[in-house]
Structure 1
Amino acid sequence: MVGAGRRLVLGLAVGSVLGGAVHGPAQAFAAKESNKLVPHRAVYEMTLDDARSVSGVTGIDGRMVFEFTGSACDGYSLNMRMVTQMTDSQGQINMTDLRSSTWEQSNGQKFRFQSAQYLNDKLGDVTMGRAERETPNAAVKVRLSQPARAELNLTGQVMFPTQHSLALIDAALAGEALFQARIYDGSEKGRKIYETTALIGSEVKPGADGTELETVAKEKRLGELASWPVSIGYFESQGGDLTPSYQIDFRLYANGVSRDLLIDYGDFSIHGTLTSLEYLKVAECK
């Protein structure tokens, strides 16, 4: 679950798509002036939404803090920490603490990532590495330094997290209902690419949310922006399984902020409620 939690945030960063044709990395990253991603810090309260008996999960509660900063000049940084307590059917409680930090060059050619996860305050997996390509359409070369030194070559069209998020917003603004992409975010010890399929609902016009918004969303005037209900399925890159490893539903706003999260792992699902939102200073290009 911890790894999936990290992929959730990176997918939403922004964070995280085919409406006729798959966008190439260079084309997808050419975001319009009207949908630049706003630097922000968001806090989500995470709770158990539903669970099948086979999951053994009876309770989940925690918090996710997500921070997005940077600009097209300096690149984009994503920092996330997600701490959750899970109660199983035997009444045992386990606490997981996931910390992740990434930096992505604005042209989508360089990507750095590192993450650490703790279980009951004991450090477990640590992942660190970097990925780059010589040109926007070239193969991606990954160099891992942790958990073990290794080099990987990722062929075909691959997007990094912020690149994917910008492309997803562009697809929504263009009225596209389906957006597919292969994403590399450094998760699963830096060795996996996920095939993603995003279903984009009809645009919710500014002011159409009414009283449905959380207090903080109202205070930060999210309702004055266009938004779209989005559902993204994450599939294993190999194997051809038609069932996603997990699915994320959320409301995506034109400035990159997300709210009303639902992460479905099949046997259980988690809901994320936006409880705090702070807009950060926009870095000016020199």
Structure 2
Amino acid sequence: MFRSVPIAFRLLPLLLVFGGVATSAAAAGAKLQPHRAIYEMRLEDARSASGITGVDGRMVYEFSGSECEGYTLNMRMVTQMTDSQGETNLTDLRSSTWEDGQGKKFRFQSAQYMNDKLGDVTMGRALRESPNEVEVRLTQPKHTELNLSPKVLFPTQHSLAVIEAAKAGKTKLEAELYDGSELGQKVYDTTSFIGNVRPPGSDDDLEPAGKERGLDKLRSWPISIGYFETKGGDLTPAYQIDFLLYENGVSRKLEIDYGDFAISGDLSQLEYLQEDACD
């Protein structure tokens, strides 16, 4: 029997960690390269309790925009999961988000299909209308309003800040993250560990797609992020994401560990997109 496929699949390359608002990070030098990346997903490890014996799929990830125009992320991940009885289920996760360059507005929508049948749908927006509050307005799965701590960060704020933290030589960062997960109801406490910088040319296992786009000429950092429930104080993360982060915002060597099973992704295609010019 399959457990519900976690919506966290869509977080893979973008949701990194912590920091101030995007403007302060960008002013300090962090910058994200608009790009389209394809990752080949597979089962990395599974405990018998998971009931999963195989995962095979692909994730297409497209990030575009700029500080002045806002940042857009479109993602689709299709995976076929096989259980211990040999039965398969096809899961199709789709999401689209937009976040303004000031970290004040965030729009999100996501849908999950199981065996071509539509399941969960989430749609809403978050507004940082004052220094003291973030207001969330959901329209799917039902009309709901939430008030969040002003400390919460949106996804691109996360990404810009973790790059800047890595450049500054920091090794650990903590933050509250809101990205519209779990039907828009979830805020995660995140703890990120940043490994030692890897100089250009140190990737012996770099995929051809990354080498063609010059990733071997950039610095990178191994990143590990634990996502914790904000209530309950559980020391075990709900899931953990590990990846190699490049200074332009591209990621590879992905792995998501859900405790009883883990999936990994290899970079198979990488295309740099035109960057929106700011006036």
Partner of 1:63: 58
Say what the alpha-carbon RMSD is for the aligned residues.
Answer: 1.4
Residue 262 of structure 1 pairs with residue 255 of structure 2: yes
Partner of residue 181, structure 1: 175
TM-superposition CA deviations, 1:85-122 (whole Å, max 9, x none): 00000111000000000000100000000001100000
SS at match of 2:245: strand
Mapped partners of 2:44, 2:210: distance in 1: 21
Q: Distance in 2 between matches of 1:244 and 1:26?
A: 25
Per-residue deviation at 1:36?
A: 1.1
Is 1:125 the counterpart of 2:120 in the alignment? yes
2:274 pairs, out of 260, 268, 281, with 281
Contact 2:194 2:222 in 1 (8 A): yes
Distance 2:154 2:25 in 1: 14
TM-score with structure 2 setting the length = 0.95
- The one-letter code matched in structure 1 to 2:120 is D
Any conservation in 2 of the 1:102–1:114 contact (CA below 8 Å)? yes
Query: Secondary structure of the residue that 2:158 maps to in structure 1?
Result: helix
Residue 227 (structure 2) pairs with residue 223 (structure 1): no
TM-score, normalising length: structure 1: 0.93
1:155 deviates by 1.7
The answer as to whether partners of 1:17 and 1:178 remain within 8 angstroms in 2 is no
Distance, in Å, in 1 between the alignment partners of 2:277 and 2:260 is 45
* Aligned mates of 1:226, 1:163 — CA distance in 2: 20
Q: When the two structures are aligned, how many residues end up with a matched partner?
A: 275
Return the offset for 1:223: 1.1
Structure 2: gaps (5+ residues): none
Cα gap change, 1:194/1:2 in structure 2, threshold over 3 Å: closer, same or farther? same
1:41 and 2:36 are equivalent in the alignment: yes
SS at match of 2:129: coil
1:191 aligns with 185
- Structure 1 equivalent of residue 7 of structure 2: 3
Rounded to whole Å, the distance in 2 between the matches of 1:42 and 1:33 is 26
Match of 2:225 among 232, 236, 241: 232
Once the two structures are TM-superposed, the CA of residue 35 in structure 1 deviates from its matched residue by 2.9
**Percent identity for Structure 1 against Structure 2:** 63
1:206 and 1:218 mapped to 2: Cα distance?
A: 11
